[in-house]
Amino acid sequence: MKAVLNGQVIIYGTGGSTLQAQRETLVFVHGAGFDHAVWTPMARYFARHGLNVVALDLPGHGGSDGPACRTIEAMSDVLSGLLDFLNLSQATIVGHSMGTLVALFMAQRYPQQVSKMVLLGTSNPMPVGPPLLAAAAEGHHAAIEMANMFSHSRRGMLGASANPGLHSFNAAQRWMERLPAGVFHADLTACNNFELEIENCAILTLVLVGEADKMTPAKAGQSVATQLSNARVHMLKGCGHAMMTEQPNAVLDAVSNFVLG
């Protein structure tokens, strides 16, 4: 689907749902270097269960026009504008990695638009290692390799995907290789520069942490939960940062239990 916000095309998936104002809405925000297709299984699940689903491509990603946002604040402005454009007053924001920062900032700047949050692999702040940032700034392939390896547990790197015949580790690499020049660095810069002093956020939140997450370690996710006043933590045993592909069914169960009850 396509929305045009201030002349900029923003692409979003709906998981097959037809958006209706009276329905509960779930918004999915992808992480650095990815696009809305990382949410396809989950989007289809919640669409089948009668929710509005909006999984957007942030600017510069997937089918959305660039340039990429260089701050989490700018990404949040785009998401807020998209919800307005779609006449969706409030949504549960589900974010992965960089997408969790968008959710957290949405909760601060546009609290009226956020009903609940699901944070998959989060950290506040979310520092990015200097070698990774430097490689991304150069446009060097090592940035993709570093990010991909840090994003997967050892088991995730070797495979054993729950999705038959799919090699999620290699797919993640291809995803990042498709990015237009500069987008990955913009994403990582946005993450690295973000630090939010969370003030009195009582929005009901689920924080999913991966026991083997090297990118946003479980402790960092647990710390985010303590910064919020109404958050619960769900630990994924043995899971790396690439949660949706390493443990797709466990992630879906956790999010479903939280969203649908």
Partner 1 sequence: MDKKEHRGPPRIGFDTLSLHAGQTPDETGSRATPIYQTASFVLPDSDFAAGLFNMERAGHVYSRLSNPTNAVLEERMAALDQGVGAIATASGQAATHLGVCTIVSAGDHIVASRSLYGGTHNLFSYTLKRFGIDTTFVDPRDMDAFAAAVQPNTKLVFGEVLGNPGLEVLDIPALAQLSHEHGLPLMVDATLTTPYLCQPISLGADLVVHSATKFLSGHGVVIGGVLVDGGTFNWAGSDKFPTLTEPYAGFHDLVFTEEFGPQAFITRARKEGIRDFGACMSPMSAFQILQGLETLSLRMDRHVSNTVQLVEFLAAHPLVQSVNYPGLAQHPDYALGQRLMPLGVGAVFTLTLQGGRRAGALFIDALELFSHLANVGDAKSLVIHPASTTHHRMDEQALAAAGISEGLVRISVGLEDPVDLISDLSKALRSVEKRL
- The answer to whether 127 and 192 have CB atoms below 8 angstroms apart is yes
* Assigned token pair, 158: 């070797």
Closer to partner 1 at the Cβ: 8 or 150? 150
**8 is a site residue for partner 1 (CB under 8 A):** no
Sign of CA dihedral 86, 102, 49, 241: positive
User: Which of 89, 226, 249, 257 touches partner 1 by CB under 8 A?
Assistant: 249
Q: How far apart are CA 28 and CA 259, in angstroms?
A: 13
141-171 as b/e: b if 16+ CB within 10 A: eebbebbbbbbbbeebeeeebeeeeeebbee
Termini Cα distance of the chain: 29
User: Which of 112, 164, 197, 237 touches partner 1 by CB under 8 A?
Assistant: 164
In the window 178-217, what residues touch partner 1 (CB under 8 A)? 178
**144 is a site residue for partner 1 (CB under 8 A):** yes
Angle at 151 between CA 119 and CA 196, to 5 degrees: 40
Closer to partner 1 at the Cβ: 125 or 159? 159
**257 is a site residue for partner 1 (CB under 8 A):** no
**165 is a site residue for partner 1 (CB under 8 A):** yes
In the window 43-82, what residues touch partner 1 (CB under 8 A)? 44-45, 48, 63
Closer to partner 1 at the Cβ: 45 or 194? 45
Size of the site for partner 1 (CB under 8 A): 47
DSSP 230: S
Closer to partner 1 at the Cβ: 9 or 149? 149
Q: How far is the CB of 257 from partner 1 (least distance, A)?
A: 12
Closest CA to 34 of 215, 226, 171: 171
**9 is a site residue for partner 1 (CB under 8 A):** no
Q: How far apart are CA 201 and CA 247, in angstroms?
A: 29
Positions that interact with partner 1 (CB under 8 A): 13, 16, 34-35, 37-38, 40-42, 44-45, 48, 63, 135, 138-146, 149-150, 155, 157-167, 169-171, 174-175, 177-178, 248-249, 252
